[in-house]
Structure 1
């Protein structure tokens, strides 16, 4: 797995809430989760993924630029090579894409759903990877498939029930 992490540095004016939400970003856990998802979805070890962790103002800028939607959001995915899940005999390989996570939004969503910020970040990372693999949730059928796979991947990785999904 070729994983690149970039975490925005908070400036001195950052709130305690923002600092706490960024402190919940456990790179080792997220790397382990990405490795698990790559293995489960039959992605070759040389598959590339980039994860950026940003604050709300940067996420709002990205959200407006790419989706023409105001306000920050929890996760955005940018697929690159249009990879799909592979098979054990023929794993997919290439540049999966970029995922952008926003810890302050994740912290609020996790609190509202009754789980930790890290659990929410794991859910959002898995969600982002699935979007990069072509999954979507625009229809009820697509949502059932994507969220079912997401839940299964998270439960296998966490060894317990998956955190409750946020639905927008």
Structure 2
């Protein structure tokens, strides 16, 4: 996976780990290994401007997702693909752009009682799922998306612990 991270904020975000979890999630979701994802890290004024322009809401938000190509996951976690070689194998796609606001993530992490890094990993996973067409507007969609998000993060933590151990 090609994950490009540009940090335009003054807050360090651990780009190597952020890129690693993004690649992990894309891989788990069956996205072509040469697909491209861009993650932009911005300050509060920039995020507030994007949120107002694209979502019609005032103030900053934690994550925004801007899909590029219409993608469908080749697999869902725990489900083997029906045919591992398909027409898209020669056409890696541009997944899209995720915009994160670390200042918002810091306050959310404190409120949730976990680390800033955990919050960024959750927001990155959340953003990728949005890029892949998941949403949480309806209760059933919310259960599916947040359940998948939790499953991916749990697997990420387990693999990270295993590699450290």
What TM-score comes out, normalization by structure 2 length?
Answer: 0.85
Aligned length: 148
Q: With CA pairs under 8 Å and 6+ residues apart, which has the higher RCO, 1 or 2?
A: 2
Q: Shift in Å at residue 65 of structure 1?
A: 0.9
What's the TM-score, normalizing by structure 1?
0.84
Deviation at 1:9?
4.5
Aligned 1:99-118 pairs, distance under 5 A: 99-118=98-117
**Which of 20, 26, 43 is the equivalent residue of 2:31?**
43
Alignment match, 1:166: none
1:143 aligned partner: 142
**Could you list the runs of 5+ residues in structure 2 that have no partner in the other structure?**
76-80, 160-165
Long gaps (5+) in structure 1: 11-21, 161-168
| Pair 1:9–1:137, CA change in 2 (3 A) | closer
Q: CA deviation at 1:70?
A: 0.6
Runs of 4+ in 1 over 2 A off after TM superposition: 90-93
Residue of structure 1 in register with 2:3 after alignment? 3
Show the 5 A alignment for 1:51-70: 51-70=39-58
**RMSD between superposed Cα atoms in Å:** 1.5
Deviation (angstroms), 1:32: 1.2
> In structure 2, the residue corresponding to 1:96 is in which secondary structure?
strand
